[in-house]
Amino acid sequence: MSDKPLAGRVALVTGSSRGIGAATAKALAREGAHVVITGRDVKALEAVEDAIHADGGTSTIAPMDLTESDSIGRLAAAIAERWDRLDILVIAAAMLPVLTPVTQIEGKQFNKALTLNVIATQALLAAFDPLLKRSKHGRIIGLTSSVGENPRAYWAAYGATKAAFDNLLMTHGQEIERISETRVAIVDPGATRTAMRERAYPGEDPKTVKPPEVVGDRIAHMLIEDFENLHRERVEISA
């Protein structure tokens, strides 16, 4: 038997080809979970899988586009066929639209962000709810942003999607609280060295913010220590 605390658990991490998603996938695998890694960039997913295997972990690549209407259902069916349950769902995939005044938000890009950040989240919750309920340790962790709770000038397109994201997760947590062992948490990673942040703050020295591994490790520790349903926290760790 493995002495790793997450041994035997099956985890799905969306947006795990890079950034916080990749760091979380590696951290969960390091602690013994078998991680299903998803994203559109197959080469990037293969690099994450290679890193996981080099560290003694196990994973399965599931290339997919969460904005495609039937992709989530197909993935849920594949996981159900292989494992018949899902123990951990980490929703890290997100899109940052161009920062702009509310009156100048570009509709096509806003729709893409709504589709990935909100509509796909609801689809993930709906598709994987039965599999999470079959687990003794069903846990959902969503990665959010402070602008979802605290509006900031020029960030409305992204902030609105994250406000809706938070609402979906917390409402789901309330709805299943008395009928399931599944628990829901939201994590605000804070300032983190990612490609998304680089686009938002092009002049920032990346060394002044923490690497994504800090957030990935924190998520792994949350799952090891466990958390109460409807838990929310911000990763306040400097670089």
pLDDT-based confidence at residue 239 (cuts at 50, 70, 90) = very low
* Catalytic position from the list 110, 128, 155, 158: 158
Q: Does 9 have pLDDT greater than 80?
A: yes
Q: Does 172 have pLDDT greater than 50?
A: yes
**109 contact partners, CB below 8 Å, separation of at least 6:** 97, 98, 157
Helices 120-133 and 156-176, packing angle to 10 deg: 20
Name the 3-class secondary structure at 105: coil
Q: Is 201 a catalytic residue?
A: no
Q: Which fold, 10-233?
A: Rossmann fold (3.40.50)
pLDDT tens sequence across 186-222: 999 999 999 999 999 999 999 999 999 999 999 999 9
